Amino acid sequence: MDFKLLASDQQEMVQHAFEWGCSSVERRARLFEKNEHYCQMYMSLSEQSSFGNPRPVHPSELLKHLKSTNNPLYLTALKMADIRVIVGQLYSFMHWKDRRVVLETVERHLIPSILEMVDEPICKQIISHLSSKARAKHLKALSDVQLAEWEKAPEKIGGLWVATDDFVSELGDPAQKCEGCSKRYEEGEKLSFTYCTKHTFHLRTSCQSKECSCVNRRPLFRPLFGPR
């Protein structure tokens, strides 16, 4: 479509998108600060829309730059970020005080999905720092989602699940404890089902290396790395 045929506001939007795509992370930070009206559009543009930029700038790089320069727009950008970028931010920080800032900034309804996406240590850390009310709310929401997925898609046997009291209690008795170590699951631990769908395992290598007593097969999910 001919650029000149676009309405003036559409032309302006295209120009901003083009400039954003061609800019370095430092330049993007200045654009983000200068053009508040286009911040959501900036964060929504994928790295593929970099218009010839030989090194596309991922949203996480912008967040890292804003954070490192103590720019207050870091929180604004974080609120607009995709959940995968938010999870990446949690992984990028080593200390809880920084991870807490991320979790206190994002939309509350994203917390259950974040618990699903992060690894077990971060999942357990988040749960342990939630207030009693928030913990009950988010774990109930996560349990409901997982139970619905389990009922309609048992083929996700090889996937990972987050242990919550409500979710585990709905499983058959053999699946309520790890087949590898015979211990019951703590909330926040990740588990995987075996082929038979009756047994589960912790992600620890010492548990994953054990055989399923039902079909004499190891669990579908076998981590390359993990605590022994």
What does residue 107 show for φ and ψ, rounded to 5 degrees?
-65, 140
Read off the pLDDT of residues 57-102 as tens digits, 9 standing for 90 and up: 678 888 888 888 888 889 999 999 889 899 999 999 999 999 999 9
Tell me the C-alpha distance between 169 and 173, whole Å. Answer: 8
- pLDDT reading at 195 higher than 60: yes
Question: Amino acid identity, residue 80?
Answer: M
pLDDT tens-digit readout, 156-179 = 555 789 999 999 999 888 889 998
pLDDT classification of 217: cutoffs 50, 70, 90: low
Strands (E) located in the chain: 161-162, 190-193, 200-202
CA–CA dist 162, 228 (Å, integer): 19
pLDDT confidence of residue 25: 87
pTM for the full predicted model: 0.79
Q: Which two tokens stand for residue 215?
A: 């079909």
**Exposed e or buried b per residue across 107-139, where buried means at least 16 C-beta atoms within 10 angstroms of its C-beta:** eeeebbbbbbbbebebbbebbeebeeeebeebb
pLDDT at 107: 92
pLDDT tens digits, residue range 42-63? 888 755 544 445 455 678 888 8
pLDDT in tens, 104-157: 999 999 999 999 999 999 999 999 999 999 999 999 999 999 998 888 765 555
- pLDDT for 225: 44
- Residue 66 in 3-state DSSP? helix
